[in-house]
Structure formats: structure tokens, C-alpha cells
Amino acid sequence: GAGVSQSPSNKVTEKGKDVELRCDPISGHTALYWYRQSLGQGLEFLIYFQGNSAPDKSGLPSDRFSAERTGGSVSTLTIQRTQQEDSAVYLCASSPRTGPDGYTFGSGTRLTVV
Amino acid sequence: QKEVEQDPGPLSVPEGAIVSLNCTYSNSAFQYFMWYRQYSRKGPELLMYTYSSGNKEDGRFTAQVDKSSKYISLFIRDSQPSDSATYLCAMSGNQAGTALIFGKGTTLSVSS
């Protein structure tokens, strides 16, 4: 497709379980970003990839969160031992350049931890 | 104090009204200023993008940046029901790949 694709669109998991969230960026986009959108909190930056490298992972809230990107394309965000406060919409964006004006966001994965 | 402050609303206006949305910020290093529109259960989409101070117009939308006051605005003229959405301001510094800092968003409802 032409846009950023995220899967699953919805995920309900039990507290303590691990989850993997997937992002398929637009083909050729070298920059990839993960953000988290919690109710009433706005979007919070998690991690930035340039190619397969993550020069900025300063937004990851704890060591339970990790992300990787392979082949300069697909990225996976993994949350281990999920907690209820992890419930949020996780948004991925890709960009063909490193400037801030080229972002295209996916529709997000809505994660609910019960 | 958060880096970016934005009144969450909700803001309700009749069709055809002029809408003013605003954000204030505290970080003087911000150089890029953006407005995103987000429909329910969708990702944000870029509406307007401004570098440094000044005004920018695109159709019914006008973005203004006043760096001396650390204040940015988005004006929507002749508002339409299809403009009903959440509007997010976002800002960043000059470094390549630097993260965007978002406001919490203002929910706008335009009634016909």
C-alpha cells in the first residue's frame, strides 16, 4: 500500500504478557519513528530509527520497551511484562528525510492491558 | 511546566465560523512548528509546517508563529463540518531526526 501500515490495529493482552507491535513504513523511507498516544497525554516520542540504527531511543519509558528495525524497512516494538499503564495507542511514522516535515503516520495499534 | 501547552477544548463552532487554535511553548530552541489534524482512530496528518517565525497560508488555513512570545496559532476560515477533528501542534529543534514535541491536542466540532 501507499501508506504506513501498522499491525495489529487492536491488541488486548493480560498484564504480564509480552506484546509485539509491527510497523511497515512507506517504501524508501529511511527514517522511522515510534510515538505513544495516551488518553489526555498527547503524543510522546519513543524511538527514532535512521536505516537500521536507532540514534535516539531516549523516549523509551523503561527497559521493558525495545524496538528493532531490519532491512531498513519493517520495525517491531516489543513491550515485555506489560503493565496497565502501557495501555495506549502506539503510532509509527516514516519519513523520506530527517527533517520534521516529512512524517507520514500510520493509524496506530490500540493496546489495552487488562 | 510542559514544553508545549495546548488547550484541549472541546471547541464547538457553527459552520462558516473562523476558528483560532493556539499553543504556547517554553523551549527557545524550537525552530520547526507544525499543525497536525487527527480524525478519530486515525493517525495524525500534517496540515501546516513553518520554519522559524512568520505566517503561512494554505487555502482556508493560516499558521502563525511568534517566537518572541513563544506562541503559535492556526486559523481556519469558513470552517466546515469536515474540519471536525483533533488538532495537534508539534515542534522540534534543528537537529536531524530530532523528535517532535506535541501538544495534547484541541478537539474541534463544527456543526452544520
Please indicate whether, in this complex, the C-beta atoms of A42 and B32 are within 8 angstroms of each other: no
**Strand-strand pairing, B11-14 and A109-113:** unpaired
Placement of cell 511568534 in the chain: B66
What pLDDT, on a 0 to 100 scale, did the predictor assign at position A39? Answer: 85
What pLDDT, on a 0 to 100 scale, did the predictor assign at position A58? Answer: 92
User: Read out DSSP for B60-109?
Assistant: TEEEEEETTTTEEEEEESS--GGG-EEEEEEEE-SSTTPPPEE---EEEE
User: In terms of pLDDT, which residue wins out, A42 or A12?
Assistant: A12
Q: How far apart are CA B104 and CA B87, in angstroms?
A: 9
Q: Tally A–B CB contacts below 8 A.
A: 61
**Strand-strand pairing, A109-113 and A10-13:** parallel
Residue A28 DSSP symbol: T
What pLDDT, on a 0 to 100 scale, did the predictor assign at position A100? Answer: 81
- Most A-contacting residue of B3, B100, B106, B107 (CB-CB within 10 A), to test interface: B100
Per-residue pLDDT 10s for chain B (112 aa) are: 679 999 888 999 999 999 999 999 999 999 999 999 999 999 999 999 998 888 999 999 999 999 999 999 999 999 999 999 999 999 998 777 778 999 999 999 999 9
What pLDDT, on a 0 to 100 scale, did the predictor assign at position B1? Answer: 62
Q: Are B26 and B87 in contact (CB under 8 A)?
A: no
- Residue A40 — very low, low, confident or very high, per pLDDT cuts 50/70/90? confident
Q: Report the largest interatomic distance among the alpha carbons of chain B, rounded to a whole angstrom.
A: 43
Q: Is B10 on the interface with A (CB under 8 A)?
A: no
Is residue A1 predicted with pLDDT exceeding 60?
Answer: no
Closest by CA to A46, choosing from A25, A68, A24, is: A68
Q: Which residues pair with B54 in a beta bridge?
A: B65
Closest by CA to A76, choosing from A66, A86, A91, is: A66
Q: Which residues of B touch A40 (CB under 8 A)?
A: 8, 104
Placement of cell 474540519 in the chain: B83
Q: Are B50 and A101 in contact (CB under 8 A)?
A: no
Q: Which residues of A touch B7 (CB under 8 A)?
A: none
